A and B are shown apart, each in its own frame.
Chain A
Amino acid sequence: MLKALCHEKDKRNIRLRIVLLSTFASIVILFSFLVGRYAITLTQLGNILLSSLGIVPADLPENVATVFYKIRLPRIISAFLAGGGLALAGTVYQGVFRNPMVSPDILGATAGAGLGAAIGLLFSFNDLQIQIMSFVFGILAVALTYSVCLCVSKRNNMVLTLVLTGMVVSALFQAGISLIKFTADPYSKLPAITFWLMGSMASATIKDIGVLLMPLLIGGIPLFLLRWRINLLAFSDEEAQSMGVNTKRLRLIVIICSTLITAAVVSVGGIIGWVGLIIPHLTRIITGPNYKALLPASIIMGGTYLLLVDDLARGMLAMEIPLGILTALIGAPFFIYLMYKGRNGWS
């Protein structure tokens, strides 16, 4: 009886926290519709929501509907998906690499995607082509890291070798980005590349949601299903294996899924740092380290956080501030605060 209660209590606890987080996320989403240069009033927002449910007839100026559906809605969904994706990738990576300092770019996905986009911009590809270039290069970089690691590592110490190889490959692709910038036309191409690399959701359209959503689902669903097993990777490989986990296969699956997600996010939003590093910590403080709750919670937290930052980016000043700058400005001090406050998130 006692045992049954324990199990039920665990479940209810997790559910309650996720419901609370989701409620907060919904409020932030609604609030985000009101932020921006073109004012949408609360009444108008209410009218849009109710009329879309068929409760009241639509009664809106055409401009408001255009801003709502063509600009705000795609941007809000994209920002939420991007943040959730980065947080998800960071959360599983920290477990897989048994290191709380790891973020989704550790294996070179971000640098690779950056180079892909830079090349695309240099050759004046269209938006979709640039996104594809970026996505493919992100995956190529991680594939390179993984294969080099397989050649170099001696069976047992794969985790450390992967991280080191990832750093090397990242540096290589960063050099590639610098080279592209160096050769780019300083009056048109160079600013475009620089701005792209700083990260932004400003140009998000309905199409981008598709580009984001597919890899997010393909990568996210396996991670979600495997989330209990990812817990076991927090222990040494031999321990996890002795408990019945094929660690090499599980790690490969996690890396493939996270890379799909990270590359997709970078290809749509540019390089947005820090989300994948601090959100896992923050979520771990709320839910504990068990991926059963941590994984869904980190998606919601990451989405909410990036949406708030994006609101700042477009609402704070008359001009847009690149997202990457804001996430770093907020993330870095916040991370120090987390470290100062006590290392609750890890041992």
Chain B
Amino acid sequence: MSLLINDLACGYAKRTVLKHINLKIETGEVLCILGPNGVGKSTLFKTIQGFLAPHSGQILLNGKSISKWSRKQLAKNLAYVPQTHEASFPYTVSEVVLMGRTAHLGNFSSPRIQDYEICEEILTKLKISHLASSIYTQISGGERQLVLIARALAQKPLFLMMDEPTSNLDFGNQVKVLQQIVNLAESGMGIIMTTHFPDHAFLCSGKVALFKPDHSYSFGSANEVITEASLAEAYGIPVKMSQVQNLNGENLKTCIPMLNKAETNAPKIQNQLKFKAYQSSVQAHHIVS
């Protein structure tokens, strides 16, 4: 099963942000959307989910255009994991996850026993069943991100849209979330995520759409698309690539941004000069008095 974005142009009422976008993702794949702030990643995300109407072009799920689908129909195929946030009311974790079942319920019904079972299963799979009766507003950011993933999985979707799933998380939690993403892809889910870390694309060994400041993009496997040259062009900074061996003995690429030595040293030298000048003036003052 596949999600196909066909010559899509999207943006806001009076402004087209992205044009001629062609992307394709199969279930079981991870697509990372990379690019500088303000390039239109969120716009693309919102358009795929139907929050913004496409200006032209199509989004096809299994060959069918989704633009006329009802919210309910869409929710059964495409789930959304927002960035971690605060909720206004103190729901328990299991209540939050149960809300993901809403698309499968009648308009006037509440979750039934099967829905409880599905949620319990998902919580166990994500190893957060101990949180089930905790208050959603009181758990940590990393836990909250996993709960939001659980809620999206409760929709039993084909594709998962994740908006910077690792932002605001510490190093360990970032990796835990990435691990879950890879596990989900292996179990046959298609995942589309925005991220600010090119390394995450290598870790997930997925496809990449790298957007550049002029709104053009390159699309392909992480190894093809992410290069020193393309990152420099997209983000306007010098980047070096390196390779390490992962736990399976395979080569894993990583990119390291470079700071300009001359620039970083310049203020330091100036300060030293100033300090020396100050010292000599103090000495001169002493001599005079």
Where the two chains meet, the residues of A that have a C-beta atom closer than 8 Å to any C-beta of B are: 2-4, 6-7, 95, 98-100, 225-229, 231-232, 234-236, 238-239, 241-246, 284, 288-290, 292, 344-347
Minimum CB–CB distance from A217 to chain B (whole Å) comes to 16
A239 touches B82 (CB 8 A): yes
In the complex, A236 Cα to B117 Cα: how many Å?
26
Given A3-B120, A244-B76; A347-B137 close (CB under 8 Å): yes
A226 touches B108 (CB 8 A): yes
Given A243-B100, A244-B76; A346-B88 close (CB under 8 Å): yes
Q: Given A225, A236, A243, A346, which contacts B155 in the complex, CB threshold below 8 Å?
A: A243
The B209-267 residues at the A interface (CB cut-off 8 A) are none
A244 touches B155 (CB 8 A): yes
A234 touches B88 (CB 8 A): yes
B89 touches A6 (CB 8 A): no
In the complex, A244 Cα to B75 Cα: how many Å?
5
A288 touches B51 (CB 8 A): no
> Which residues of A have CB within 8 Å of B117?
3-4
> Which residues of A have CB within 8 Å of B105?
228
A225 touches B75 (CB 8 A): no
Q: At the interface, yes or no: B109 with Cβ under 8 Å from chain A?
A: yes
Of A6, A95, A99, chain B has the most CB atoms within 10 Å of the CB of: A6
Of A99, A228, A229, A344, chain B has the most CB atoms within 10 Å of the CB of: A228
A232 touches B99 (CB 8 A): yes
Enumerate 10 A-B pairs (CB-CB under 8 Å) in ascending A order: A6-B132, A7-B116, A225-B108, A226-B108, A234-B88, A241-B51, A243-B79, A243-B155, A288-B95, A347-B86
Minimum CB–CB distance from A2 to chain B (whole Å) comes to 7
B89 touches A284 (CB 8 A): yes
Q: Mark B158-172 against chain A: 1 for CB-CB distance below 8 A, else 0.
A: 000100000000000
Nearest residue, chain A, Cβ from B110: A228
In the complex, A344 Cα to B90 Cα: how many Å?
8
In the complex, A99 Cα to B87 Cα: how many Å?
10
B103 touches A289 (CB 8 A): no
Q: Given B71, B76, B90, which contacts A241 in the complex, CB threshold below 8 Å?
A: B71
The B54-94 residues at the A interface (CB cut-off 8 A) are 70-72, 74-76, 78-80, 82, 85-92, 94
B90 touches A292 (CB 8 A): no
Minimum CB–CB distance from B162 to chain A (whole Å) comes to 11
> Which residues of B have CB within 8 Å of A2?
120
Given A239-B80, A244-B76, A244-B155; A288-B90 close (CB under 8 Å): yes
Q: At the interface, yes or no: B111 with Cβ under 8 Å from chain A?
A: yes
> Which residues of A have CB within 8 Å of B270?
none
> Which residues of A have CB within 8 Å of B287?
none
In the complex, A4 Cα to B116 Cα: how many Å?
8
> Which residues of A have CB within 8 Å of B79?
242-243
Q: Mark B176-215 against chain A: 1 for CB-CB distance below 8 A, else 0.
A: 0000000000000000000000000000000000000000
Q: Given B82, B90, B111, which contacts A346 in the complex, CB threshold below 8 Å?
A: B90
A243 touches B99 (CB 8 A): yes
In the complex, A76 Cα to B239 Cα: how many Å?
76
> Which residues of B have CB within 8 Å of A242?
49, 74-75, 78-80, 161
> Which residues of A have CB within 8 Å of B132?
6
Nearest residue, chain A, Cβ from B151: A243
A236 touches B82 (CB 8 A): yes
Q: Given A6, A234, A241, A288, which contacts B87 in the complex, CB threshold below 8 Å?
A: A234
Q: At the interface, yes or no: B6 with Cβ under 8 Å from chain A?
A: no
A226 touches B116 (CB 8 A): no
The B107-122 residues at the A interface (CB cut-off 8 A) are 107-111, 113, 116-117, 120
Q: At the interface, yes or no: B102 with Cβ under 8 Å from chain A?
A: yes
Of B72, B88, B92, B109, chain A has the most CB atoms within 10 Å of the CB of: B88
A98 touches B88 (CB 8 A): yes
In the complex, A242 Cα to B99 Cα: how many Å?
11
Minimum CB–CB distance from A105 to chain B (whole Å) comes to 20
> Which residues of A have CB within 8 Å of B95?
231, 288-290
In the complex, A226 Cα to B107 Cα: how many Å?
7
> Which residues of B have CB within 8 Å of A229?
102, 107
> Which residues of B have CB within 8 Å of A236?
82, 85
Minimum CB–CB distance from A17 to chain B (whole Å) comes to 15
> Which residues of B have CB within 8 Å of A239?
80, 82
Given A3-B117, A231-B95, A243-B103; A238-B87 close (CB under 8 Å): no
B82 touches A228 (CB 8 A): no
Minimum CB–CB distance from A94 to chain B (whole Å) comes to 8
> Which residues of A have CB within 8 Å of B155?
243-244
Minimum CB–CB distance from A90 to chain B (whole Å) comes to 14
Q: Given B102, B111, B116, B120, which contacts A244 in the complex, CB threshold below 8 Å?
A: B102
Q: Given B88, B107, B108, which contacts A99 in the complex, CB threshold below 8 Å?
A: B88
In the complex, A191 Cα to B32 Cα: how many Å?
70
In the complex, A100 Cα to B70 Cα: how many Å?
31
> Which residues of B have CB within 8 Å of A231?
91, 95, 99
Given A7-B113, A243-B155; A235-B76 close (CB under 8 Å): no
In the complex, A228 Cα to B105 Cα: how many Å?
10
- Given A231-B91, A238-B46, A241-B50, 16 further pairs, Cβ under 8 A: A2-B120, A7-B113, A100-B89, A227-B110, A231-B99, A232-B99, A236-B82, A238-B82, A243-B155, A246-B71, A284-B89, A288-B95, A289-B90, A289-B91, A347-B88, A347-B137
